[in-house]
Amino acid sequence: MNSIQNYFKESKKILDSFLKAKVKTLGKGEIVKAIEYSIFSGGKRLRPILLFSLGEILEVEEDLLPFAASVEILHTASLIHDDLPIMDDDDFRRGKPSVHKKFNSAVALLSGDAMVSFASDIILESKYPIKKKTLLISLLNKAWGVNGIAGGQALEIEAENGKPIEPFEIFKRKTGALFGSVFEGAGVLKGMEETQLKEFYSIGENIGIVYQINDDLDDIGEKSYNSVNIYSEEELLKKRKNFVEKTLKMIHNYRLLKFPFREILKIIWREKNV
Amino acid sequence: MNSIQNYFKESKKILDSFLKAKVKTLGKGEIVKAIEYSIFSGGKRLRPILLFSLGEILEVEEDLLPFAASVEILHTASLIHDDLPIMDDDDFRRGKPSVHKKFNSAVALLSGDAMVSFASDIILESKYPIKKKTLLISLLNKAWGVNGIAGGQALEIEAENGKPIEPFEIFKRKTGALFGSVFEGAGVLKGMEETQLKEFYSIGENIGIVYQINDDLDDIGEKSYNSVNIYSEEELLKKRKNFVEKTLKMIHNYRLLKFPFREILKIIWREKNV
């Protein structure tokens, strides 16, 4: 059996060549260069690989690549906008100059904007049945919009400015929504029923929330907003434990705890006992 | 017969009440406030009203409101991003503080982002047949992305930085694409064939290009990039005349020159002889 390292490597290779071909269709110009730069700047491809692993276990017959690519593009777009001086003002991303440093802030803004259309177009141009196309675009919209990344980041800013905001409301939108969409998207591609889709969304959302809690626990004292300033570290760890247990139960119900999903979950959560 | 002023007034009223109801579904929070503020800050609703007028003449039976609203939302989102300090740095829009002045730059960025999902969701949640939904979202994507507003604004920045860029390549993307999408969208809702849809897109695109030429001629000496710095005013007026004549021929072929479209075209183009 393949090791998880090989699984990551192979998956990344396949995804990257799909993404390369898609970027080529965009033509030339500054923002296309910026899009290419941002997409191929060393992303771990966690969300697409999570989708691939689910597709394998669920024995999804649809091609997973278009949805995987569109999720990764949205994720990358959110990082470009998030790094802007008017947001987190980060000059580096994964050890390389962020897009607004490599190009400029206007190009960074516009390339992030254009990537939202790019992601949606990849779904529309895919061979998915039309009903699945609309369901997947709706998931991308949710992950990107008021109840997704944009909404989560806006809540975080409100929290930074002193408004009392429940940290899990931020986690849910900022990180949970895209993970939730990956899971529900896997379910859509499998052809699952409404109730199962909702449960799948919840599993993904919870995985994202735990991932975000880890991030906060790592960065104590290092970022302007941290849920550890609301809850104590002890309280947060307790909440994390609850989320992990609750989510594992749901994961068990769907018999998902196999290679390669199990190993990926261990990596995302940094939990040995999964 | 209704005067064109009444037609504008009535159309705006109907559109605004649809938009109000849709904004309500977004919930609460800073970016929803920013979205509401931007949408109801005195926009002329030119693109939606253009769509309504086409719908009337073509006798479109589908509800025009969802597509009209989504076009207006995208247009508004582009203005929010365009006004940002990292773009045109405009503190006022239609005599009111621009979104980043009223709120802040981060909220302006995020509200513009979220509006792209919002526009797409309105199409998905509409009662349009599913095939029309995907065609309309594809049009919105085109108008927003690399070959639309984002691409056009990026080209404009390159031109400002001294790169030789053909001004009509900017016009086509920055202004033409959304007008083109309005026209092609009207055709989609009517159920037109592929060839007609392409012609309809061209008509809209050309209308947008002439609109943008007018804007440049108005603002001589007032903006950092102006096509009058590439062509002389005389050359530009000649090109404008060619576009108007070419487009009027196409419009004649489709027998569109009736109330209210004819009057709206006069207003958009500021041409008496239409």
- Print pLDDT tens along chain A (274 aa): 569 999 999 999 999 999 999 999 999 999 999 999 999 999 999 999 999 999 999 999 999 999 999 999 999 999 999 999 999 999 999 999 999 999 999 999 999 999 999 999 999 999 999 999 999 999 999 999 999 999 999 999 999 888 999 999 999 999 999 999 999 999 999 999 999 999 999 999 999 999 999 999 888 877 778 888 888 889 999 999 999 999 999 999 999 999 999 999 999 999 888 8
- CA A118 to chain B, closest CA, distance in angstroms equals 7
* Cα(B20)–Cα(B28) distance, integer angstroms: 13
Q: How many residues does chain A have?
A: 274
pLDDT attached to residue A112: 98
pLDDT for residue B1 is more than 60: no
Residues of chain B contacting A109 with CB distance shorter than 8 Å: 81, 84, 86-87, 109
Cα gap B169→A230, rounded to integer Å: 51
Pairing of strands A92-93, B96-97: unpaired
Substitution target from A81, A146, A160, A181 for chain B, most B beta carbons within 10 A: A146
Which residue of chain A has the CA closest to B78?
A: A113
The Cα A197–Cα A209 span in angstroms is 18
Query: Is B118 within 8 Å of A146 when comparing Cβ atoms?
Result: yes
The SS3 assignment for A256 reads coil
Whole-number pLDDT of residue B115: 98
The DSSP line for A131-143 is HHHHHHHHHHHHH
**Mean pLDDT across chain B:** 95
- The two structure tokens encoding residue B19: 């938009």
**Residue with token string 């895919």:** A126
CB pairs under 8 A between A and B: 162
The residue type found at B67 is F
**Which residue is it, tokens 């086509």?**
B172
Q: Are A264 and A271 in contact (CB under 8 A)?
A: no
- Whether chain B has a CB inside 8 Å of the CB on A142: the answer is yes
Kind of pairing between the strands at A92-93 and A96-97 = antiparallel
Residues of chain B above pLDDT 70, percent: 99
Q: How confident is the model at residue B136 (pLDDT cuts 50, 70, 90)?
A: very high
B110 vs A150: CB contact, 8 Å cut-off? yes
B4-269 CATH pick, 1.10.600.10, 3.40.50.2000, 3.40.50.920, 3.40.50.300: 1.10.600.10
Q: What stretches of A84-145 show up as alpha helix (H) in DSSP?
A: 99-102, 105-124, 130-144
Cβ–Cβ < 8 Å for A121, A136: no
Question: Which pLDDT value is given to residue A43?
Answer: 92
Within 8 A of A134 by CB-CB distance, chain B residues are: 124, 130, 133-134
Angstrom CA distances, B239 to A86, A116, B224, B242, stand at 40, 34, 21, 5
Residue A224's Cβ-count burial label (10 Å; 0-12, 13-18, 19+) is exposed
pLDDT at B2: 61
Structure token pair of residue A51: 């989708």
CATH architecture of the domain with range A4-268 = Orthogonal Bundle (1.10)
Q: Is the pLDDT of residue B5 over 80?
A: yes
Confidence of residue B224 (pLDDT cuts 50, 70, 90): confident
The 10s digit of each residue's pLDDT in A56-92 is 999 999 999 999 999 999 999 999 999 999 999 999 9
Question: Among A32, A106, A117, whose Cβ lies nearest the Cβ of B86?
Answer: A106
A270: phi > 0 → left, psi -120 to 50 → alpha, else beta; which? left
The per-residue pLDDT for range B25-57, each reduced to its tens digit, is: 999 999 999 999 999 999 999 999 999 999 999
In sequence order, what E strands does chain B have? 92-93, 96-97
pLDDT of residue B193: 97
Q: Where are the domains of chain B?
A: 4-269
Q: Which two tokens stand for residue A190?
A: 């499998």
Contacts of A116 in chain B (CB under 8 A): 113, 116-117, 144-145
Average pLDDT over residues B209-237: 87
pLDDT grade, residue B6 (50/70/90)? very high
- Comparing CA positions, the residue from A117, A137, A26 lying closest to residue A34 is A26
Taking CB atoms and an 8 Å limit, are A117 and B141 in contact across chains? yes
- A260 cis-preceded (ω within 30 degrees of 0): yes
